[in-house]
Structure formats: structure tokens, C-alpha cells
Amino acid sequence: MCGRFTRIHAWRDIWQMYRIVNSDPGRNTEARYNIAPTQTIDFVTSDGAGNHRLHEGRWGLVPHWAKEIVKASTINARVETADTTAMFRDAWRSRRCLIPADGFYEWTVSTEDGKKDPWFIHLPETRPFSFAGLWAHNDKLGLESCTIITTTAAEPMRKLHDRQPVILDPAAYDAWLDPATASESLKPLLERDLDGQLQFYRVSRAVNTYKTQGGVCIEPINPA
């Protein structure tokens, strides 16, 4: 699963990744070191003409038909069932997105004191990447929202958890975003072999509180 993540790269990096057409390339964005569910996050969509557009919305998908904020957790959608689950299937068909990130957190339970130890997971050089996501617009609530798709964890991350967010191959960005991409072609786009590519290390338990922000969140520590 994915319950916290980071987006610390500058706007120029995001601009270059996505060819965004509706925003000022000089925009400043604050580095975010501990993004939590229900917070507002950036996500990128396509208008069908190949133009990428930046949105802001709630992390935790609220379907277009919902009359209120759903109580169930919708921050993640399993790739195995996202195309058939009522909560996500409409978005799967035509409202797919990319979520800019450069790392995420997972937790293990300490054998010493039973408390949760956070780990920061990233690609080499902490280079930016995109989670594959789904999004929705709810007219009744005046709300845009999104979810992160998850899949089976790659090695060696399985030591931490059996699931991980889908980190999309940049070569698949356009096809994933395109509302016209055939349904049978979607899941193969998400099949990226990340075995041996993900790196991780222990970080401070201060991360367990979402209010903790700043570079301290990703500073490595030695296990106690």
C-alpha cells in the first residue's frame, strides 16, 4: 500500500516531466516531505489531445456519484481489481492520472518495543517519478480527488511490505493518460519490473506524525 509519500523536487522538474500546458513554468512549489491521506496533492491528466494538465485534489478518491465523502479508505486502488470495483471502475475507464513523487514511506514493527518504524523508499539518486493513479470530479461536492494504484511489491521491498504503489515507466505516461487507450491495454502499461531498483533506509519515528515536515523526515538513522 502507500499511506505517505514525498514530493520535494522543484517545479522545473515537474514541468519537464509532464509538458504541462496550463501553468506558469516559473511557479514555485513548496517541498513536501510527509504527504498524508485526505490532504490536497498535485496530479496530472490529459485532455485527450496530448496536452498534460495539472490539477489539485483530495488524496482519497470520491466517485462522481457519491453524495458525501466516502468513509471507506480510498487512498489506494489495487491494480488487480480497480477495473471492476464500483468505487474505481469509472475512473479506470477514462480518468487516469499521474501523481508526482520522489519517495514514499512504509512501516515495520520493532521487535524491541513494538512501535512502528518508518522506512523511506526511493529510486536511485532520489530521482522524481510518477505513481499511476485514478481521479474523479464530483459536481455535487465541488470536489476533485484521486487515488494511487498499488501492486505486488518488488524485491527487496517485500522485506517491508507485500504491496507497493505502481511507479509508472515514463514511456507509458501518454498511453496511461489518454482516455482513448483500450481497456485491455491498460494493465500491461503498469507492469514495470522494479526488482533491485528500489532503495530504502530507516528514518525517524517523527514521520509517524503527519505534522512532521522538512528534511528531517528523510534523514537516515541507524536502527536502535
E-assigned strands of the chain? 5-7, 32-35, 40-46, 52-59, 76-78, 96-101, 103-109, 116-122, 129-138, 143-152, 163-165, 199-202
Chain centre distance of CA 153: 14
Q: Is 184 a catalytic residue?
A: no
Q: Which three cell numbers stand for residue 61?
A: 478518491
Per the residue annotation, which of 30, 68, 80, 106 is the catalytic one?
A: 106
Q: Strands across the sheet with 5-7, in order?
A: 32-35, 5-7, 103-109, 116-122, 199-202
Q: Which three cell numbers stand for residue 11?
A: 517545479
Q: Is 30 a catalytic residue?
A: no
Q: Which three cell numbers stand for residue 32?
A: 513536501
Per the residue annotation, which of 2, 97, 146, 217 is the catalytic one?
A: 2
**80 three-state secondary structure:** coil
Which residues participate in catalysis according to the annotation? 2, 106
